[in-house]
Amino acid sequence: MPPSSLRVVYAFAREMHPKTTDIFIQYGTAGFRTKANLLEHVVYRMGLLAVIRSRVKNGRTIGIMITASHNLEPDNGVKLIDPDGEMLEQSWEAIATKLANVSDNDLEATTAEIIKEVNANMTLKTSIFIGMDTRYTSPRLAQAAANGVMALKGTPKEFGIVTTPMLHFFVKCRNDNTYGTPTEEGYYEKIVGAFKNIRQKLPVYGNYSTTLYVDGANGVGGKKLNIIKKTLDGELDLKLFNLGGNGGKLNLNCGADFVKVSQKPPVGVEHVPMQRVASLDGDSDRIVYYYVDDKDKMHLLDGDRIATLLASYITELLTASEAKHLKLGLVQTAYANGASTAYITQKLKVPVTCVKTGVKHLHHAALSYDIGVYFEANGHGTVIYSDNAKKTISKIAEEGESEQRKAAQLLLNFIDMTNETVGDAISDLFLVETVLCARGLDAEQWLSTYDDLPCRQVKVTVQDRNVISTADAERVCTSPEGLQTRIDELVAAYADGRAFVRPSGTEDVVRVYAEADTQQSADKLAAEVSQAVYDLAGGVGNRPELPA
């Protein structure tokens, strides 16, 4: 692109989307995420970068999603989606950060420098898909993204309010027409259609109930399920709560992150003893389950539980179809409960890989298996099937013996029900309900497969989260000096003790995780480690309080 065109880009940015803050913002685990009023210039520049990225990828479609996921409503964010529906290539995160933070005066030169650095052919036609969540700030930011795309003569296609996983799906389908149709209707046809097909082959029996309560976190996922529920033909009876009406605030005291971290039921949901409930997060890329017993105690079924449930069922189908030679593996992070890892490796005999927090790390590791199951404990995850696995299973479904064909056909439906591009709460909900139905299980029976170690997560506000450095898939803290030694000393005092700390990829905090043999011990260990972080990593605000 000639320099004169870039001057137009610069002038438009200065006039319509000026940089009004000197606050440094970094492309993190899921893109840029901060207070919405700080993001307009960032989102405009990500429109520019999406066009550059698309042209580096020979004109293939790139996605821009406006969302802050599980964060509260005043926040917002933006992330780019690569052509295969995956997260932005990690090497480009530094480029995104650089472009987002330069001054308006340097934007022209920096954009030209990036174009040259990545050797982008700026004459190629390109298209950019844009989606947004339900935040009141999202339409303005989506428009800023579209303006950035058009400034470099790209073509934006705006999908309006969609779940984050839907936009990942659309991008994948646009670049690979064998995967599906890049529309909301195409998403429903593939994901929901596969669910209905497989449920027609599975009789409802045992303790499984077709009634499912859903906490929509007052976000987009509940709204989409409200559309889907009308098409389910009685295969699943969804009772939806927290759909954004009656003054409900996005992710406030509800949603997957609230349920997982606080270990409390969300507000706004009717609680019937032993009734299973699925909690989505604000942009519907996370899901956790729970139920409240007849003594009002909540029992959580998180991402670890979902991963083990899906992995065990896929293993069962592989065995029945005599495709056991396909290599299945499970990917976790340090947040995975130690009991789940033991169950997977010792009972299911499935190999486990541990990686850094962030779905991009899990997704990459899962690609090393024929079938890779990956979930963070927070409920963000999916299953990936290699081309070899799909071809093998398809061949058995056509040529195998009767029972082999039956199992293989179920597995093919299971594959179609899966959004392989990214963690998807709606897809995962249907996967979980399929397995529970196939096995005749209620939530209590699902929980009984193994006993979680009690755990606690805590956030500590510090002056600079980047003073925390980690290694060994974030299980060891390498700086500041002395912090890991202190953590080791604290952990040694507790039976089944385990703890780690890491800088958040989405918030200006340090996250603390602790496990022990009792909840009281886990709570106390988490508080003690939080105090160590506060003392050694520059804590601000109120000091952590030890439990009574």
CA pair distance 334, 474, nearest whole angstrom: 7
The answer to whether 505 is a known ligand-binding residue is yes
For 192-300, CATH gives: 3.40.120.10
Averaged pLDDT of the chain: 94
DSSP string for residues in 26-78: --BTTBEEEEGGG-HHHHHHHHHHHHHHHHHTTT--EEEEE--TTS-TTEEEE
For the chain, domain boundaries: 3-161, 192-300, 303-447, 455-536
Q: Which of 71, 51, 87 is nearest to 374 (CA)?
A: 87
CA distances from 266 to 253, 281, 429 (A): 6, 11, 18
- The model's confidence at residue 14, banded by pLDDT at 50, 70 and 90, is confident
- The model's confidence at residue 93, banded by pLDDT at 50, 70 and 90, is very high
So what's the pLDDT on residue 424? 98
Share of the chain above pLDDT 90, in %: 89
Do the beta carbons of residue 500 and residue 493 sit within 8 Å? no
Which tens digits make up the pLDDT trace of 196-231?
Answer: 999 999 999 999 999 999 999 999 999 999 999 999
List beta partners, residue 499. Answer: 514
CA pair distance 283, 197, nearest whole angstrom: 26
Which tens digits make up the pLDDT trace of 267-300?
Answer: 999 999 999 999 999 999 999 999 999 999 999 9
The answer to whether 281 is a known ligand-binding residue is yes
Please tell me whether the overall predicted TM-score, pTM, comes out greater than 0.85 for this model. Answer: yes
For 3-161, CATH gives: 3.40.120.10
- The model's confidence at residue 324, banded by pLDDT at 50, 70 and 90, is confident
SS3 430: helix
CA pair distance 347, 340, nearest whole angstrom: 10
CA pair distance 440, 436, nearest whole angstrom: 6
The answer to whether 285 is a known ligand-binding residue is yes
The answer to whether 69 is a known ligand-binding residue is yes
- The model's confidence at residue 1, banded by pLDDT at 50, 70 and 90, is low
CA pair distance 448, 439, nearest whole angstrom: 14
Which tens digits make up the pLDDT trace of 393-406?
Answer: 999 999 999 999 99
* Options 3.90.650.10, 1.10.10.10, 3.40.120.10, 1.10.3720.10; CATH of 303-447: 3.40.120.10
**How many other CB atoms are found less than 10 A from the CB of residue 245?**
8
Do the beta carbons of residue 291 and residue 443 sit within 8 Å? yes
Active site residue 91: no
SS3 509: coil
pLDDT > 60? residue 548: no
- The model's confidence at residue 3, banded by pLDDT at 50, 70 and 90, is low
Residue labelled with tokens 């009002």: 296
Host H or E run for residue 81:
strand 75-81
Which tens digits make up the pLDDT trace of 436-485?
Answer: 999 999 999 999 999 999 999 899 999 899 999 999 999 999 999 999 99
Q: What residue spans of 246-320 are helical by DSSP H?
A: 256-262, 303-320
CA pair distance 476, 486, nearest whole angstrom: 12
The answer to whether 502 is a known ligand-binding residue is yes
The answer to whether 511 is a known ligand-binding residue is yes
The answer as to CATH 3.40.50.12160 being correct for domain 455-536 is no
Say yes or no: do domains 3-161 and 303-447 share a fold: yes
Q: Which of 4, 5, 54, 69 is catalytic?
A: 69
Tokens of 25: 């913002």
- The model's confidence at residue 4, banded by pLDDT at 50, 70 and 90, is low
The answer to whether 506 is a known ligand-binding residue is yes
- The model's confidence at residue 7, banded by pLDDT at 50, 70 and 90, is confident
Which tens digits make up the pLDDT trace of 80-92?
Answer: 999 999 999 999 9
Share of the chain above pLDDT 70, in %: 98
Residue with the larger pLDDT of the pair 7 and 224: 224
Which tens digits make up the pLDDT trace of 169-181?
Answer: 999 999 999 999 9
So what's the pLDDT on residue 544? 76
CA pair distance 444, 276, nearest whole angstrom: 9
So what's the pLDDT on residue 130? 98
- The model's confidence at residue 360, banded by pLDDT at 50, 70 and 90, is confident
So what's the pLDDT on residue 2? 52
- The model's confidence at residue 359, banded by pLDDT at 50, 70 and 90, is confident
The answer to whether 503 is a known ligand-binding residue is yes
Q: Which of 188, 115, 127 is nearest to 153 (CA)?
A: 127
- The model's confidence at residue 508, banded by pLDDT at 50, 70 and 90, is confident
